[in-house]
Amino acid sequence: MAGLKDLGSLLNLTEFASQPEPEKKRGYNGNVMRIKVRMEKRRGKTLTIVWGFSTHPVEMIRLLDVFKKKLGAGGQILDKQIEIQGDHVDRIKQLLKTEGYTLGN
């Protein structure tokens, strides 16, 4: 079964051919936020930490809910950082890119 892109290209519809990239997220100062992700071990447990946010706390809570639902893991917000239980670095990076965030080194 053909996808919407294939069907759109057959019907010469450009709206299905390519979807624009989401707008890059900006912080309070107007600069593009560079979000960083790392993995730590605390008391023998693996923890993924996401930091570098300069945004409203409501946006961080929304992002935490997205992570928890998509990854099936627990998490919390501490000191402007999102902490997720387990090793989810690669999956979180993918989710951040789809949300429009820029990843730092």
Gap between the Cα atoms of 75 and 102, Å rounded: 21
Q: What is the pLDDT of residue 21?
A: 61
81 vs 99 pLDDT, higher one: 81
Q: Which CATH number fits domain 23-103: 3.30.2320.20, 3.30.780.10, 2.170.120.20, 3.20.20.70?
A: 3.30.780.10
Extents of the domains making up the chain: 23-103
Encode pLDDT of 6-26 as tens digits: 655 666 655 544 556 667 777
Encode pLDDT of 40-96 as tens digits: 999 999 999 999 888 888 989 999 999 999 999 999 999 889 999 999 999 999 998
Distances (CA, A) of 13 to 1, 2, 18, 20: 18, 15, 10, 15
103 vs 88 pLDDT, higher one: 88
